Amino acid sequence: MNKNIGPYRIVNLSSGRRVVINALDLVAPKHYMYGLLEVDVTFPRQLITEQKTRTGEAFSFTGFLVHCLARAVDENKEVQAYLKGRKQLIMFDDVNVGVMVEHKSDEKTTLRGHVIQGANHKTYREIHQEIRSA
């Protein structure tokens, strides 16, 4: 097991799933997955605003989204699995989420990528603090 990428396991694909993958290869060499999502975030926004009013600390909305995403992926790890050869899947135990963080230096503002590793094992507050410190 490669310790640089975190814990993972290798599982064999069923013959039925291999047939589907082979059929997709006949249609197109690359498989793209697109998604469109609409979510009502009124209630979480209200909670974040109430928290700021009570304590003065403004929680990160991005942190909330990362927390929700990590929990959803943790429930179905096949979403972040990838093929190893033609007969196996590599399934990761940790959910790593990439976010863009704005950095200000002097008059310039730049974006930098940051990866929240093991987000499925962190609380909302831990994710929020990691984003703020990044």
- Reported as a single tens digit per residue, the pLDDT across 58-97 is 899 999 999 999 999 999 988 888 888 888 888 889 999 9
What pTM was computed for the model? Answer: 0.77
Burial class (CB in 10 A: 0-12, 13-18, 19+), 110: exposed
Sign of CA dihedral 105, 111, 117, 120: positive
Name the class of domain 8-133: alpha beta
Nearest to residue 120, comparing CAs of 89, 97, 88? 97
Q: Cα angle at 120 between 119 and 126, to 5 degrees?
A: 50
Continuous segment of H or E residues that includes residue 72: helix 61-75
d(CA 87, CA 21): 10
Given a cut of 90, whether residue 5 has pLDDT beyond it is no
Given a cut of 70, whether residue 2 has pLDDT beyond it is no
- For the record, the structure tokens of 130 come out as 């990691």
- For the record, the structure tokens of 18 come out as 């291999």
Computed over every residue of the chain, the mean pLDDT equals 87
d(CA 59, CA 82): 33
Q: Cα angle at 64 between 66 and 76, to 5 degrees?
A: 45
107 or 52, higher pLDDT:
52
d(CA 16, CA 113): 38
Given a cut of 70, whether residue 31 has pLDDT beyond it is no
In 3-state terms, what secondary structure has residue 62? helix
